[in-house]
Structure 1
Amino acid sequence: MTTAIAALLSIFGVVVGAFLQNYFSRQNNEAKQLLESRNQAFIDFFEAVSLVVSAQRMGKKEQELEQLAKLTHEKARICMFGEESVVRHLAKFWETGASLETESEILAFTRFILDIRKSLGLKDKEFLNAEVSQLLFAIKPPRS
């Protein structure tokens, strides 16, 4: 009787172990796919932003319109895959005008980038607002 119970418990343990392994593997795979989708949406968004700005500066209206359409698509992807705070910062950037010409637009864009870094799990030891703005726009905003 005890050997039968031990055998049943062993089989039960193997089944539960296999189930748990499958469950955690599936959860890990879904999280990995979401992170990859987020990363690609962010990369494509920044590429579209730079192409729009470039087309605007060179006066190429047709290219600008193409890239604006791509930019709209990338914003939608961020709304789909991005964390709530990232979507909120993107909306705030768009509220300011989203042209990267004024100080408020540049600061909103910088906050958006910093929030993306945070959402990707990057643990910055210091507040990088000034450094990011300096790298992207060659300006130093006041520290908050």
Structure 2
Amino acid sequence: MDVKLAVGVLTFFGVIIGATLQYFFTKHVESLKHAKELKSKAYADYLDAISEDASYNHEIGSRAQKRVYAKIADAKARICLYGSSEVITAYSEFLALGGVFNSQKQKDAFTKMFSHMRKDSGGSEILNLQEIEIILLGHPNDDT
């Protein structure tokens, strides 16, 4: 009878321990997934906002311009909050160069930042940054 009781008690505690471990592992995985979603959304929102700013000639001081600048500022803050150190470093290098695409050095800094954002969001690393530059900014010899 003592053996049956011991088996029952051990089984009970095994189930309790297993359920507890499963709960904490699931919670941890969901936390990581949520952090990745926040990070990816911040990156996508930033790219969306700068694309909107570049695509439209908003009147200086207009509501539309202020709205776009507010979106950019919000995304920047979230990038600083959730972004990886590689992304933040690449982003600060791009901004230190002026945050525009007037020179090849600025374009290189932007494509490097974009590549880090992509990798940080779960994509594979792109080794040929010129491919990103052509897709996002146009051919290097174009004025697009």
Letter of the 2:76 counterpart:
K
Unpaired segments of 5 or more residues in structure 1? none
| Deviations, residues 53-102 of structure 1 (Å, cap 9, x unaligned) | 223xx252223333122211110001111111111111111111001222
CA RMSD of aligned residues (A): 1.7
1:65 paired residue number: 66
Structure number with the bigger relative contact order (C-alpha 8 A, sep ≥ 6) is 2
2:16 paired residue number: 15
What are the equivalent positions in structure 2 for 1:1-144 lying under 5 Å apart?
1-55=2-56, 58=57, 60-61=59-60, 62=62, 63-124=64-125, 127-140=127-140
1-side partners of 2:66 and 2:131: how far apart?
A: 31
Letter of the 1:8 counterpart:
V
Q: Alignment identity in percent?
A: 25
Q: Which aligned segments of 4 or more residues in structure 1 are displaced greater than 3 angstroms?
A: none
Letter of the 2:129 counterpart:
N
Normalising by structure 1, we get a TM-score of 0.88
Letter of the 2:110 counterpart:
F
Please say if residues 131 and 140 of structure 1, whose CA atoms lie closer than 8 Å, have aligned partners that are also in contact: no
Aligned CA distance change for structure 1 residues 23 and 74 (closer, same or farther; 3 Å): same
